[in-house]
Amino acid sequence: MTTDVQDKGRHVKDVSAEQSTPVISLEQVQIRLGKQIIQENINLSVQSGEFVTILGPNGAGKSTLLKLLLGLIKPSAGKIQVLGKLPHRGNTDIGYAPQHRTLEADLALRARDVVGFGLDGHRWGPGWPNRKRNAIIEQALEEVDALHFANAPVGQLSGGEQQRLLIAQALLTNPRLLLLDEPLSNLDITRGQEIVALVNHVCRARNVAVLLVAHDINPLLNVVDKVIYVANKRSTIGTPDEVITTESLTRLYGSPVEVVKALGRMFVVGAEI
């Protein structure tokens, strides 16, 4: 059973009794959309506090995998559990930041208002005491280092600043699983590294499991515990050293792929990534 406790002023969940239940467990899962099989034989397990990145070419099914965990689509075969239960819509144990395009420059909403949308429909949503609601929003803004631009019009913020707000929004319900869909896209190397460091800090400090969809392993190589690589309707999971190898990716793609290391970076050659 989960109980809520106060820890140094931060509202956290006592999850000690649940540590042994995987946050995510998929066995022989198949995903079919319309007549098309998107993924099959997905087998994976993710534990509390693990930082996992999902990689793979365009259209491989990375976002679809997140939608499956959110209960937005159902598997066509296999067993799936999120925190020991079947996935279901509106699960407040999951924080989700969808794929994001830069907001319109003339959007006049304040940054803190956008973060507050994360509470709508939840316990501290509209109709609940403003003081409690504001305190939760303030705490999330502080956690992502966004207090200094909290009152700025959101459309005028940089891509990295907007991304911080989406992460703050996803943290409001104190989730045990955080799903981030391409938070590094459109960011330069420095801003991307800042977001990776932020997500890594959130993951470790909160012991929340994180699934982060990305296109490049390099900014994540030294921080993630595991990689889920999706390609050719199939997927594989393991540490970066196990997954990002010529042998492993050639097996997954079913055609020759080479992992090249140069200038301290890794490149997958021979596959569209």
Asked if 183 touches ligand ATP (CB under 6 A), the answer is: no
- Of the two residues 8 and 35, which places its CB atom closer to ligand ATP in the complex? 35
Asked if 222 touches ligand ATP (CB under 6 A), the answer is: no
- Of the two residues 77 and 109, which places its CB atom closer to ligand ATP in the complex? 77
Asked if 159 touches ligand ATP (CB under 6 A), the answer is: no
Binding residue for ligand ATP, selected from 62, 112, 164, 226, defined by CB under 6 A = 62
Binding residue for ligand ATP, selected from 2, 59, 147, 260, defined by CB under 6 A = 59
- Of the two residues 38 and 154, which places its CB atom closer to ligand ATP in the complex? 38
Asked if 33 touches ligand ATP (CB under 6 A), the answer is: yes
- Of the two residues 36 and 190, which places its CB atom closer to ligand ATP in the complex? 36
Asked if 185 touches ligand ATP (CB under 6 A), the answer is: no
- Of the two residues 146 and 231, which places its CB atom closer to ligand ATP in the complex? 231
Residue 95 Cα distances to 98, 174, 180, 212, 243, angstroms: 10, 8, 8, 12, 26
In the range 109-128, which residues lie near ligand ATP by CB under 6 A?
Answer: none
Backbone dihedral angles phi then psi of residue 43, each to the nearest 5 degrees: -130, 115
Report the nearest approach of ligand ATP to the CB of residue 185 (Å).
9
Report the nearest approach of ligand ATP to the CB of residue 94 (Å).
17
Binding segment (CB under 6 A) for ligand ATP, from list 51-59, 136-144, 147-155, 189-197 = 51-59
Asked if 36 touches ligand ATP (CB under 6 A), the answer is: yes
Binding residue for ligand ATP, selected from 9, 34, 129, 264, defined by CB under 6 A = 34
Pairing mode of beta strands 177-181, 94-97: parallel
Q: What is the DSSP string of the chain?
A: --EEEEETTEEEEE-GGGTTS-SEEEEEEEEEETTEEEEEEEEEEE-TT-EEEEE--TTSSHHHHHHHHTTSS--SEEEEEETTB---TT-TTEEEE---PPPPTT---BHHHHHHGGGTTSTTSTTS-HHHHHHHHHHHHHHTT-GGGTTSBGGGS-HHHHHHHHHHHHHTT--SEEEEESTTTT--HHHHHHHHHHHHHHHHHHT-EEEEE-S-SGGGTTT-SEEEEEETTEEEEE-HHHHSSHHHHHHHHTS--EEEEETTEEEEESS--
- Of the two residues 110 and 233, which places its CB atom closer to ligand ATP in the complex? 233
- Of the two residues 3 and 36, which places its CB atom closer to ligand ATP in the complex? 36
The sign one gets for the Cα dihedral 170, 142, 129, 5 is: positive
Asked if 56 touches ligand ATP (CB under 6 A), the answer is: yes
Could you tell me how many residues of this chain bind ligand ATP (CB under 6 A)? 12
**Contact residues: ligand ATP, CB under 6 A:** 33-34, 36, 38, 56, 58-64
